[in-house]
Chain A
Amino acid sequence: MITIEQIRTKDNKIIVLGNHESLIQSILDFDYLSKKKEGSIVGIITGRAGFAKFFFGRGEILIPTFVGVDQSFLSQTYNLWFLNLLSGRRTLSSTQELLATNFVGGALFAENVPELHSLKIIDSNDKLIVGPASVGLLVPGVLKLGPIGGITPEQILEGKITHKGSIAVMSASGGMTNELMSIATLAGHQLSFALSFGGDRFPILSPRDAFLLAESDPDTKTVLYYGELGGEDEYELLQLKEEGKFTKNVIAHIAGTVASLFAESPQFGHAKAKADKEKVTALAKRSALRRVGFSVSNSFSEFIELVTNIRSL
């Protein structure tokens, strides 16, 4: 799998599957505000060959649209990414054909991707793919792969997502990814990278993989992690810590303690967010993560306090 440092040291280009104008424009705005010479989107697969009009700064640009993946992209020397905006049912078939090519990774935006489809993608490759149901991957000043960090120029500027720092943000929830980024920025910190796993049961990039990305990244000093009740992914994190494969600072919040008010855990907003056994309740995960030495908050205001108190490194 590509490392965060390899993303920073090479040029990154994106092919978008499906059209979502404001999202594509926000990536070009990010590129422009990051002072890149040109936009990172090299093609949009819309099912029709032609051109689509966008802005790069104040100037109009034309981005080619394609019927399928054009071979001319595959022999380039840059890091090539895909941003798949197609529906849940079409995510597997449209992603599968990209896996055998030289894409370094991508983001899957759709909700409602069947679990078995995600597992097929997991089994067939080791590219850096975030999602399904992910708002994307962000490397400040370098790559914005998805709506992560916002879609208006005000959000990009205010969120300072073009500035590089030392805090990595990881979250099961798209909205909370941006919330955590905002908490870090408001506390005067900047980001090394940020990503959203998506709220599905089997995220392609697992929290374990993401922790290894943070460990190998020389810029990252602290990881901010947001998780929820349901699923056992967090138990892999403590295993990493116990085996000495992860050594950096972690501040974590696991939401979902409210489930204890119910006789049987309800299904919350995300597909994974349901505790069908004691081990996957928010409280059980909090105490397990605390045991291996991560800072785990008892409330969200405590989480904010912990982030505010990180010494600027």
Chain B
Amino acid sequence: MARVKISEYQAKSLLLSNYHGLCATTSTTVMQIESHFPNQNLVVKVDQGIKKRGKLGLVKVNVTPTEIPDIIQSWSNLGWSSFLVEPVVEHSSDSEHYLALERVRSGWQVSYSKRGGIEVESSWGSIKQTFLRFEGLTWTEVPSPTIKNFIILLLTIMENNHLVFLEMNPILIRGETVIPLDMAAEVDDTGSTLTPVEESHTSPSESQIHILDTATPASLKFKLINPNGRIWMLLSGGGASLVLTDEVADQEMGNELANYGEYSGAPKSDDVYSYTKIILNQLLKSSQTKHKALVVAGGVANFTDVAQTFKGLIQAFDEQKLLLLKAGVKVFVRRGGPNESRGLAIMKKFLTDSKLLGSVHSHNDPLTLVINEVKEYLT
């Protein structure tokens, strides 16, 4: 549902003619590399959409095929899983340019600098920006016709494949030829068929919720921040969830924040049940022995049925109520929307009976009030 990174391998295969990189994993053998690149000087890099690879030591230049499996193994030990091998293109560092294209409302924003490379951020001021529309290529910031022609070629492929961001740093210009050495690309995943990069260090609970999300027309999001945090968020609505999470940080409890997440778009009570169950399992794994707060909160829904979604929540709470009680969990609730009073009433009854009640508020009370109560409970 948003802009996502794709691998450098996919981006280059799509955008460059005669691209000859090799996508590698821990099982890639020396023989495979040798036969793909006979007698060539090689570069190997982590290919998972990570920024500042060079500075993080995730790029190794001038290596031989026999060295590569060990390098990949050492990166794999750090949690990386996708790699790219390419031939080295010899060049001097002062021939490194910078070029980026981003889709904006009024067309394409083109950013270009003669001084690219790993230290580009220190010469950020040298980057010229211009806006491009297909119909009028009247721009002076990029004087080289070679680069202009290259950009025109790229934009057509990018539009056809829903690529919305492309950064090439460094990029070399040799006569009529443009050679991007490193490429970072993002697609709009609502239109693209390209595969997003696998994020490293994804927790099992995050993967499970991601799978659940793709299987329903509603939206289910979850990001684990601190598995031993004391504040667990079970929020509804993209906007309200952000406001409530901001409030936790504003009240200087950011270090206690266990997760960010939200459900929205009128999920069925079954979906809410499964979503809640995964989050509760994660919470109960916490080695934190102090009191914990579970925040069930959201704005005033337009069309998400409060009673129906709360049924799913309660079903999941009910299965774990003894463990939640033992873990020192109290539940703090604030919600408005269709069938609000019924939803809040069944929630209040359940929480009271199971001794998990922190508080229950309707839309008549301010959205962020529950966070004040959480602070009081935790201190």
Contacts and interface: CB of A to CB of B under 8 A. Distances in A.
Given A182-B363, A268-B241, A299 B221 contact: no
B245 A258 contact: yes
Contact of B300 (A146, A179, A257, A274): A179
Interface in A242-284: 253, 255-258, 260-262, 264, 266-274, 282
A271 B103 CA distance: 14
Nearest to A181: B300
B8 interface: no
B188 A175 contact: no
B180 interface: no
B105 A174 contact: no
A298 B249 CA distance: 12
B243 A300 contact: yes
Given A115-B164, A182-B336, A257-B250, A176 B237 contact: yes
Contact of A255 (B159, B221, B243): B243
B69 interface: no
B2 A267 contact: yes
B337 A155 contact: yes
B105 A202 contact: yes
Contacts of A186: 364
Contacts of B246: 255-258, 282, 299-300
Given A115-B164, A152-B338, A255-B246, A171 B51 contact: no
A301 interface: yes
Interface in A148-186: 148-152, 155, 171-179, 181-182, 186
A232 B106 CA distance: 12
B165 to A, nearest CB: 8
Interface string B57-75: 0000000000000000000
A199 B103 contact: no
B78 interface: no
A270 B240 CA distance: 11
A269 B190 contact: no
A57 interface: no
Given A115-B164, A179-B367, A264-B51, A269 B239 contact: yes
A236 to B, nearest CB: 9
Given A173-B240, A299-B368, A112 B1 contact: yes
Contacts of A22: 303
A260 B225 CA distance: 13
A111 B299 contact: no
Interface stretch (B87-95, B257-265, B274-282, B316-324): B257-265
Given A176-B239, A299-B250, A116 B159 contact: yes
Contacts of B262: 269
**DSSP majority for the B interface?**
mixed
Contacts of A175: 236-240, 264, 298-302
Interface in B296-314: 298-303
A45 interface: no
Interface string A199-234: 101100010000000000000000000101000100
B303 A23 contact: yes
Contacts of B2: 267, 271-272, 274
Contact of A150 (B223, B237, B298, B302): B302
Contacts of A155: 337-338
A155 B304 CA distance: 12
Contacts of B299: 173, 175-176, 178-179
B247 to A, nearest CB: 6
Interface string A22-49: 1100000000000000000000000000
Given A173-B240, A260-B249, A269-B262, 8 more contacts: A23-B303, A111-B219, A116-B188, A171-B239, A181-B300, A257-B249, A266-B223, A298-B250
Nearest 3 pairs between A and B by C-beta? Answer: A173-B239, A269-B238, A114-B191
Interface of B: 1-3, 51, 103-105, 159, 162, 164, 188, 190-191, 219, 221, 223, 225, 236-243, 245-250, 254, 257, 260, 262, 264-265, 298-303, 336-339, 363-364, 366-368
30 contacts: A112-B1, A115-B162, A115-B191, A148-B302, A151-B303, A172-B239, A173-B238, A173-B239, A173-B240, A175-B240, A175-B298, A176-B239, A178-B300, A178-B301, A178-B336, A181-B300, A186-B364, A199-B238, A253-B243, A255-B242, A257-B249, A257-B250, A258-B257, A261-B254, A269-B262, A271-B1, A271-B3, A273-B238, A299-B246, A300-B368
